[in-house]
Amino acid sequence: MDLGVPDHARALQQHEAYCETLEQCGLTLTRVEVDERYPDSTFVEDAAVMMRTPARRQTSALATSDTRAILTRPGAFSRAGEVESMAEVLSRFCPELDSIKEPGTLDGGDVCEVEDRFFIGISQRTNEAGAQQLAAWLASHGFASSFVDIRGLKNILHLKSGLTYLGDNRLVVIDALADHDEFRAHDLVRVTAGEEYAANCLRVNDRVLVAAGYPGFEGTLRELGYQTIALEMTEFQKMDGGLSCLSLRF
């Protein structure tokens, strides 16, 4: 994004508001310690992919044996060290950790979970080898997957920069992704031109978190019956980050 230099103090305020909102929506947070060697590590979603096994997904009780995670191999190699610290944190929740291996690269921001299927973006950060490894890992746990090649799109970094699953068979999409065959079985909520950044929203229980400043998209969600919470994301937008990037959820 060519939006200027992030304001550090303001970014901290926006991050704290984000964390408080997740808690207000009913989530329990595990906060990873600051590691100033890796300034991109605030985008924790990229370092791993987590899921619950299909047989247990409809229950409210959470057992660690039902939770699986695979550590990624970020496409920006300056981020490789983030995976080590994430492995330490995730070992508290997962009985075993798998990982993407060379020559594969994978960013979690390229992985969109839709019920029992995952859409995997092939991007400048996630290559075909990494996507194939993830697909095989998901299949071993009972999940289907499809690839979405976004390498020809210059306005999004990751697949989830332009795609979000809301539940209710609804996908939020930017126009550049709307015609993909993989999405035809879903009801598409299209983001209007000029509000593409808002496509990276986040449903948490009965709320949808949206980036502030996009009234058209927020109005569309409300017309569909969703209760929205608008959060200032200006400083993270300057770093090509969005709402989903700042947390890893399961």
Residue 8 is among the residues annotated as catalytic for this protein: no
Q: Give me the catalytic one of 141, 158, 180, 186.
A: 158
Secondary structure in 3-state letters for the chain: CCCCCCCHHHHHHHHHHHHHHHHHCCCCCCCCCCCCCCHHHHCHHHHEEEEECHHHCCCCCCCHHHEEEEECECCCHHHHHHHHHHHHHHCCCCCCEEECCCCCCECHHHEEEECCEEEEEECCCCCHHHHHHHHHHHHHCCCEEEEEECCCCCCCCCHHHCEEEEECCEEEECHHHCCCHHHCCCEEEECCCCCHHHHCCEEECCEEEEECCCHHHHHHHHHCCCEEEEECCHHHHCCCCCCHHHCCCC
CA distance 22 to 207: 10
Q: Give me the catalytic one of 94, 112, 201, 245.
A: 245
Residue 245 is among the residues annotated as catalytic for this protein: yes
Query: Which amino acids are annotated catalytic?
Result: 158, 245
